[in-house]
Every structure is written in structure tokens, then in C-alpha cells.
Amino acid sequence: MASNVLTKRAAAPKVNTARVKPEAEEPLKPKKKGMSLFTLLDKYANVDALFEEGVPLKYMPRVLFLTGITLLYIGNTHFAVKTVRQIDKVKVEVEDLRADYSTLKSEYMEASKQSEVARNVAPLGLEESSTPPYQVVVPADEY
């Protein structure tokens, strides 16, 4: 017969036996405490005393209020920073537009001079009048 064939063996009857309690391991030596924020907090603020009887629900409204105020403060700070960035961006854009306006205004003032207008319309066959303008007087009964 092959050695890999399973054979049914009679199972041993189950018996109640006492559990063996594992040996307690030696506690690790505490590390040398340095000067950290959490060490100082643990040393000077007795936070464990607050939670001896569970979570103190009497402080929950205050904690939630302070959490809400903190979130509003953080959100307001982000909004202010975003607004300052937008203001800086708009200032740069306004400065560019002001420079363009000044340039266009000076070009317009130069082009609207009488001598420039006369020079620009000369190719069209128009020339400047040498006689001064006169006023046409129409009697009121001719209307």
C-alpha cells in the first residue's frame, strides 16, 4: 500500500483539562525620559485623573465649542490668505492696465494735434483752410 493514503484512526476521547497559565513576561525597563512635550504634559498636567471614571461628559459642550471656534479661526485664516493673494494679483493687473492707459492716452494726445491731423489727411486730398470761420446769421422769421 502507498504511504500517502489516509487511514482513519480512532480519535482519543475529549477530556476537560486545566489550562496552563502562561508565565508573565518581565516588563520592559522604561526608557530614559527626555525633555519632550508629552513628558512635560504628563508630568505637570494630571490628565489621567480626568479619565479615571470614564469620559467626563460635563466638559463636552465646552470642548465642542472650542473645537468649532478653532475650526472657524483656521478657516478665516485660510480665507484671509487667499484674499491677500487675490489682491496682490489684481494689483499687478491694475498696474499693467494703468501703464497701457497712459501709453494710449499719450499716443491719442499726440495724434489729435492739428499738425498731425493735417499731415494724416493730406494723402486724401484734404487741406487746412487758411480763412477763418465765420458765423452764419439766420433771421428768426426764416425758420
Domain ranges in the chain? 39-122
Q: Is the dihedral of CA 110, 114, 116, 120 positive or negative?
A: positive
Low-confidence ranges of the chain (pLDDT < 50): none
Give dist(CA 67, CA 78) in Å, integer. 17
Give dist(CA 52, CA 34) in Å, integer. 26
Please state the pTM of the whole predicted model: 0.46
Give dist(CA 119, CA 126) in Å, integer. 10
The HSE-up count of residue 131 (CA atoms within 13 Å, CB side) is 3
Amino acid present at 69: I
| Predicted pLDDT at 82 | 98
